[in-house]
Amino acid sequence: MRNSKTDIGLLLIRVVVGITMIAFHGIPKLMGGVEGWTAIGKSMQNIGINFLPAVWGFSAGFTETVASFLLIIGLWSRPASWLLAFTMLIAMIMHLSKGDGLSGASHAIELMAIYIAFALMGPGRLSVDKK
């Protein structure tokens, strides 16, 4: 059984990670327009997906914004976390394929671990889902 300190800790992580993801990743990607979405979406080529790069790029920004908001409030947190973890997996693969090494991919790896943890544990009781 979780105690109140655990739920406060989960809330703190959800809010801080969610706000920074929205502010520094999601919204800037959405504001990039078709040209920016296409550039971002081309990273899907690293996993063999070579079509509709603008759609994939927009999807990354949309996921980083909407799924992060859902994680912050604790609504549909587990599916939102899986979507965010997948987005970070693609980011990690993109950094590694560019030759950035583990240091270049480390931010995506760290966030992917956080999102997988939330997908497995849930958001805590201080959430809309209360799970």
Please give the full DSSP string across 54-123, using - where no structure is assigned: HHHHHHHHHIIIIIHHHHHHTSSHHHHHHHHHHHHHHHHHHHHHTT-HHHHHHHHHHHHHHHHHHHHH-S
The per-residue pLDDT for 3 is 82
* Dist CA 117 CA 89 (whole Å): 14
Q: Which domain holds residue 56?
A: 4-121
* Dist CA 92 CA 73 (whole Å): 26
Report, as an integer, the average pLDDT of 41-52.
90
What tens digit of pLDDT does each residue of 62-107 get?
Answer: 999 999 999 999 999 999 999 999 999 999 999 999 999 999 999 9
Residue 129 pLDDT more than 70?
A: yes
8 A C-beta contact, residue 55 and residue 104: no
Please indicate, yes or no, if residue 59 is contained in any of the structural domains.
Answer: yes
Residue 8 pLDDT more than 70?
A: yes
Give the count of domains, the chain.
1
Please indicate, yes or no, if residue 128 is contained in any of the structural domains.
Answer: no
Report, as an integer, the average pLDDT of 113-120.
98
Residue 131 pLDDT more than 80?
A: no
What tens digit of pLDDT does each residue of 23-34 get?
Answer: 999 999 999 999
Q: What percent of the chain has pLDDT over 90?
A: 89
Please indicate, yes or no, if residue 130 is contained in any of the structural domains.
Answer: no
Please indicate, yes or no, if residue 38 is contained in any of the structural domains.
Answer: yes
Residue 2 binned pLDDT confidence (cut-offs 50, 70, 90): low
Please indicate, yes or no, if residue 131 is contained in any of the structural domains.
Answer: no
Q: What is the mean pLDDT of the chain?
A: 95
Instruction: Indicate if the alpha-carbon torsion angle 43, 94, 17, 23 is positive or negative.
Output: negative
